[in-house]
Copies of this chain bind each other. A is one copy, B any other.
Amino acid sequence: MSTRVSSPPFGDRLAAAADRRGTPLVLGLDPDPARLWPGITPSGDDPAATSLGLQAALAHEGTRPGALAALAVYEHCRQVIEATAHSCVAVKLQVASFERLGPAGWQTLHAVAQLVRDADLLLIADAKRGDIDVTAESYAAALFDGTETPWGWVPGLGADAVTVNPLMGHDAIQPFLDRARAVGGGIFVLVRTSNPGAADFQEQRLASGEPLWQRIAGQVAALDSGKGALADAGAVCGATVPERVAELRQLMPRAPFLLPGVGAQGGTIDGLRAAFAPGLGGGLVTVSRGLVRAHETSGDHDAAAAAASAARDLRDQCLRAAA
């Protein structure tokens, strides 16, 4: 059975959470098993092995590396969330980082999602899925609430929002939004990404005169019901192109923006003022390496302290930009 409970719309929940916690900062988690925080030594005796259901995988030579890596990733994520939660409104989980650990990684993804909820943070599943029809519905079920089967209810990841790739068009967006709305969730549609390759297609000018990103933005804007504090259909906009962020805010006045690219990719928070026009929750500045690897650049031996300090600093930068 579904345990669905009626939930307020995502836009209201997001706006309230950002205001209540006083931050629009999003912790991005994309753990690389080869670059976790120091001192993490997973073993089969780890109590988490039981709670993650990894005992069977740990007992077999072929699956043991994946289970140990998953245990290590779990502990790493636990420590990073604990160190930075005070300055964040949400955690963005990079689904790929867990998928590469196989079945054990998927179990860990679910366990880390629970850590995020326990920390009273919103959960954004950065999956960039894009497909249609029953396939889109399956992805949405996997990432949001779950699936009814003849053998009972299979719970999904429980994400509050997911990232969606719009290339296939409206029928690749709507199934995600429908499922999101049913559970008080939201979507972030890729509109103008932060990478150099965004120039290849997203920046192409159409015969109608507008670039492709503008056409995509128009479709996202049209999904806004106009109700609540913010729309539940948001946009991914690269923080590396602040001029685009300002233009996109004009086109999508109430859409929450998910803003990757600060730090490692060269974006600055100061350039993102326009994103905050509809409120603090309108500009979700998502930072991964700038938090998790803060100790590498600061030379601090205490990774948690360095991450905590970087989180406070990034939060303060956001608040200045939003002021």
Binding site for B on A (CB under 8 A): 30, 32-34, 42, 53, 55-57, 60, 62-66, 68-69, 72, 94, 96-97, 99-107, 110, 128-136, 138-139, 141-142, 146-156, 165-173, 190, 193, 195-202, 204-209, 212, 215-216, 219
Contacts and interface: CB of A to CB of B under 8 A. Distances in A.
A169 B142 contact: no
Contacts of A133: 195
A69 B149 CA distance: 7
B33 A151 contact: yes
A72 B106 CA distance: 20
Contacts of A129: 96, 128
Contact of A196 (B42, B128, B171, B212): B171
Contacts of A69: 147, 149-151, 154
A145 B78 CA distance: 28
A215 to B, nearest CB: 7
A151 B53 contact: no
Contact of A135 (B97, B151, B165, B190): B97
A147 B100 contact: yes
Contact of A165 (B103, B151, B165, B209): B165
Contact of A167 (B30, B136, B148, B202): B202
B97 A106 contact: no
A96 B196 CA distance: 29
B103 A156 contact: no
5 contacts: A33-B151, A69-B151, A101-B154, A102-B156, A169-B200
Copies of this chain per assembly: 2
A190 B205 contact: no
A110 B100 contact: no
Query: 8 tightest A-B contacts by CB?
Result: A169-B197, A65-B152, A169-B200, A96-B138, A68-B151, A171-B197, A33-B149, A99-B142
A212 B66 CA distance: 41
Contact of A216 (B57, B196, B201): B201
Contacts of A167: 130, 165-167, 190, 193, 201-202
Contacts of A132: 193, 195, 197
A154 B100 contact: yes
Given A102-B110, A201-B212, A206-B207, 9 more contacts: A65-B151, A65-B154, A72-B150, A96-B136, A101-B149, A102-B106, A168-B198, A171-B197, A205-B206
A53 B103 CA distance: 10
A76 B172 CA distance: 27
Given A94-B135, A128-B131, A169 B198 contact: yes
A141 B34 CA distance: 14
A145 to B, nearest CB: 11
Contacts of A30: 134-135, 138
Nearest to A195: B132
A313 to B, nearest CB: 24
B100 A139 contact: yes
Contacts of A94: 135, 138
